[in-house]
C-alpha cells in the first residue's frame, strides 16, 4: 500500500463544533504536536464563516457537499457548496488528490465518547482501528462503508484515505475539557499510527477488534403534516452504542404511546438525539456490532 506524505487535519467543518477549531488554534501555534518525520501536516479551518456566525453552517451542511456529482455541478453555488469546491481544489481534487490523508475533527451532542469513523476496511484502516482500540480502550470504532469512499459526501473522502474523529457529548458552541482532551489524544494516536505505517514499524496488534457498522437512520415520530409527535425514549437517551433488541421502546409519543424498535436485528443506536439533526427530524442512527479481523 502507498505511503502518506501529506496529511491534513481539518477542524470547523461545522462552525459550532468547537473542540476541533480550538485544537487547530493550539496546533498552529505549537506545530510540534502534529509534526511527524515521515509526512508533512497542514491544518485546515474548513468553515470559518459559520464559526464567526456561531452556526453549524450558513446555507447547508458542508460535510454533505463532497460527493462527486455535487462537486462537479457548477450550478450549486450557495456558501457551503462553493466552499466545498474550494476545499476540493485545495486538498484534492477528489479522485486524484494532493493530500493523502484527512482527519476531520467533529463534536456531537450525543453521548458517543471518542468515536473513530472509518469509510473503508482495507489494511490501513483495519490496523488503525486496532491501534486506536489498544491505546484508547474507551474508543468506539464505527464503520460507514455502505458507500465506496469516493461516493461519500464527507469532506474526509476527498483524500486517498480519510477518517472522522467524533467526540461527545458536547453542546453546540461550547468547549468541554474532557472532550477536548479525548479529541487531542485520539488525534495524536492517529498521527503516530500514520507515521509507524509509513516506516513499516506498525507494532503487533490484536487479531480481532470490536466494531460497529452503520445500518440505517431513524426519524422522530411525525404526523401526516410532518409535525413531530414524539421524542426519544428515556430508556434510550444517552445510551449510545448500547444494545436495543426488537420490541424495546425507542420513542415516547406526546399522547403517551410508546413506539418500539421493529428491526430484525440487535441494534446499537448512536448519534442519539443529536441536536444538529433536528432540522431533518433525525432521531438516531443504528449499527450492528461485529468483530473486525485485522
Cβ pair 292, 206 in contact under 8 A? no
CA dihedral 111, 186, 45, 164 (to 10 degrees): -60
Domain ranges of the chain: 6-206, 217-287
Q: Residue written as cell 446499537?
A: 268
In this prediction, residue 1 carries a pLDDT of: 57
Return phi, psi of residue 200, to 5°. 60, 40
pLDDT at 2 over 70: no
Q: Residue 188 — pLDDT band, cuts 50, 70, 90?
A: very high
Q: Residue 251 — pLDDT band, cuts 50, 70, 90?
A: very high
In this prediction, residue 54 carries a pLDDT of: 98
Domain 6-206 sits in CATH 3.40.630.10: yes
In the chain, alpha helices (H)? 18-29, 48-52, 68-72, 79-91, 123-135, 177-198
* Pairing state between β 40-45 and 6-11: parallel
Cα distance between residue 183 and residue 168, in whole Å: 9
Average pLDDT rounded to a whole number, residues 130-158: 97
In this prediction, residue 71 carries a pLDDT of: 98
For CA atoms 212, 119, 206, 179, give the dihedral sign. negative
**Nearest 5 degrees, angle CA 257-CA 261-CA 264?**
150
Class of domain 217-287 as given by CATH: mainly beta
For residue 93, whether the previous peptide bond is cis, meaning omega lies within 30 degrees of 0, is: yes
Cα distance between residue 17 and residue 106, in whole Å: 6
Cβ pair 270, 201 in contact under 8 A? no
pLDDT at 159 over 60: yes
The tens digit of pLDDT for each residue in 165-176 reads 999 999 999 999
Q: Do domains 6-206 and 217-287 have the same CATH topology?
A: no
Does the pTM surpass 0.95? The reply is yes
pLDDT at 160 over 60: yes
Amino acid at each position: 500500500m502507498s505511503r502518506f506524505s501529506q496529511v491534513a487535519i481539518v477542524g470547523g467543518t461545522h462552525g459550532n463544533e468547537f473542540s476541533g477549531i480550538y485544537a487547530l488554534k493550539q496546533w498552529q501555534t505549537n506545530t510540534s504536536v502534529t509534526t511527524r518525520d515521515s509526512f508533512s501536516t497542514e491544518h485546515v479551518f474548513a468553515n470559518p464563516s459559520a464559526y464567526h456566525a456561531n452556526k453549524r453552517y450558513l446555507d447547508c451542511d458542508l460535510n454533505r457537499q463532497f460527493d462527486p456529482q455535487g462537486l462537479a455541478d457548477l450550478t450549486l453555488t450557495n456558501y457551503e457548496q462553493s466552499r466545498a469546491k474550494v476545499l476540493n481544489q485545495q486538498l484534492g481534487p477528489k479522485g486524484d488528490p494532493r493530500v493523502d490523508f484527512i482527519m476531520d475533527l467533529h463534536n456531537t451532542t450525543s453521548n458517543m465518547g471518542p468515536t473513530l469513523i472509518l469509510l473503508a476496511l482495507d489494511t490501513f484502516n483495519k490496523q488503525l482501528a486496532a491501534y486506536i482500540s489498544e491505546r484508547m480502550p474507551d474508543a468506539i470504532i464505527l464503520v460507514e462503508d455502505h458507500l465506496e469512499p469516493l461516493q461519500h459526501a464527507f469532506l474526509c473522502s476527498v483524500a486517498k484515505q480519510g477518517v472522522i474523529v467524533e467526540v461527545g457529548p458536547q453542546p453546540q458552541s461550547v468547549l468541554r475539557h474532557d472532550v477536548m482532551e479525548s479529541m487531542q489524544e485520539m488525534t495524536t494516536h492517529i498521527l503516530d499510527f500514520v507515521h509507524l505505517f509509513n516506516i513499516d514499524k506498525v507494532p503487533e496488534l490484536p487479531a480481532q477488534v470490536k466494531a460497529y457498522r452503520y445500518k440505517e437512520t431513524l426519524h422522530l415520530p411525525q404526523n401526516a403534516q410532518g409535525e413531530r409527535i414524539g421524542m426519544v425514549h428515556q430508556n434510550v437517551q444517552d445510551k449510545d452504542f448500547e444494545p436495543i433488541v426488537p420490541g424495546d421502546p425507542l420513542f415516547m409519543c406526546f399522547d403517551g404511546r410508546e413506539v418500539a424498535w421493529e428491526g430484525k436485528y440487535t441494534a446499537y443506536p448512536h448519534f442519539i438525539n443529536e441536536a444538529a439533526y433536528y432540522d431533518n427530524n433525525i432521531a438516531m442512527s443504528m449499527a450492528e456490532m461485529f468483530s473486525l479481523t485485522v
